[in-house]
Amino acid sequence: MRGFPAKTGLKRSLFLAFSLTAGLSLAACSDIGSTIDSLFGGDTQADAGPPPDAGVASNTAPPTTAGAPPTASAPVASSGGLAPMVTIMPVAIEAGADTGTAVNKTIQTVRAQVSGLEGKLAANAQRLNDLRNSGAASASSYQGSKAQITTRLQVGTTKGNPELVSQWNIAQTSLDAMAGNINALNALGTDVSNDSSNAHFALDQIGATFNVSGAVDEDHRQLSLLQDETSQTLVMIDRLLSEVSDAVQRQTSYVANERGSLTVLAGAIKNGELYGGTPGVTASSATGGVQLSSAGTPLVVIRFDHPGVDYQQVLYAALNQALQSRPNAGFEVVAVSPTRGTAASVQIAQTTAKRHAQEVMRSMTDMGVPAARMGVASATDPGAADSEVRVFVR
């Protein structure tokens, strides 16, 4: 695995103020200790290789080709599998007699094109079924690993348990396989979209051929039949394209959300406990002096008034709630120092406050907030008795 984050080892308590409008779920990372770009402005699709072969048998019945007698059509579907199958009924393309006219030559050419589209329709429907099965298998593997990690964390375990790190890597591999599956679905969508364009072009050719002189009545009969067959084929292609688009959207959303869960689990493994009990905990269930704040106040105020202040749980809850309502939010971490005492003591207090601010930022990075989304500043407050770190949503 890459970049498993080192433990900060800090335990700090805090006074917490939440903005009434704050809250947006933390995005996650593709490695433990790094953040996922998909939820923070990047691409949700990983550059993964082709998905593993689901090994699903095909019951596809090929359409009737030009020049051969029509046969009964059969649904294009896979036998068995984890995901519901897409059923496509190929259209039988009826062969026509050669009348010897120039118009009939055009008819034969278009008929061959439509027959080729029928063959691709059957193959692409099977590709979609296989990819959906592959994605379902990867999701099942991912959820199994995630459940094992959560269970161990729930009952208690050691910090940075290597067994959980190994399970986390397995979960990440499964999620990466789903990302590769999305890439394959996008490629399939491109192929089906091209087939749809070709079917529309064939339909236009048929309509134009009706106006060509030199045709006999049999030519027009064949044209009318081919027009109907092409229209039916186009309906099936567009239906398949819709199925592919839905699959891409579902899997993209799932992978993006689960990247966030992986980031939370990464921090939980490092600390040996789940933040807030479970990934995605809301701030209202966190402990440690949680209070709602009025507009314009900091999202979080951490007062370092004694050694060993424990602030990670409530900080996570506050960030989680803030990110739920504002997915593109950034955060300003302000080191606040008191102004009491001599010039030397004020200088020491400022240095201490800045160090605390850096510690809080490292904790926020472990929780899945990218460094690009955070800024740091310093300030003094005559009313502050001890150094504080105030986190604002920007």
For the residues of 5-16, what is the DSSP string, one character each? Answer: PPP-------BE
The verdict on domain 102-271 having CATH code 1.10.3470 is: no
**Mean pLDDT of successive 10-residue segments in the chain (394 residues)?**
37 34 34 36 39 38 40 41 68 85 92 90 91 92 91 87 92 92 92 92 91 90 91 90 90 84 82 56 31 57 84 82 83 89 83 89 82 88 87 88
Residue 96: its pLDDT value, please? 84
Residue 296: its pLDDT value, please? 59
Give yes or no for a contact between 28 and 370, defined as CB atoms under 8 angstroms apart. Answer: no
Smallest CA-to-CA distance from 13 within 310, 275, 388, 269 is with 310
Tell how far CA 306 is from the center of its chain.
Answer: 42
Give yes or no for a contact between 168 and 2, defined as CB atoms under 8 angstroms apart. Answer: no
Measured CA to CA, the distance from residue 336 to residue 262 in angstroms comes to 33
pTM: 0.54
What residues contact residue 324 under an 8 Å CB cut-off, 6+ apart? 23, 24, 25, 282
Model confidence pLDDT, tens digit, residues 206-251: 999 998 898 899 999 999 999 998 998 999 999 999 999 989 988 8
Smallest CA-to-CA distance from 48 within 247, 185, 187, 182 is with 182
**Which CATH class name applies to 16-26+280-393?**
alpha beta
Question: Buried b vs exposed e over 12-31: b needs ≥16 C-beta within 10 Å?
Answer: bbbbbbbbeebbbbbbbbbb
Q: Where in the chain is the domain with CATH 3.30.1330?
A: 16-26+280-393
Start-end of H helices in the chain: 102-155, 162-209, 217-271, 312-325, 343-366
Residue 275: its pLDDT value, please? 61
Q: Where in the chain is the domain with CATH 1.20.58?
A: 102-271
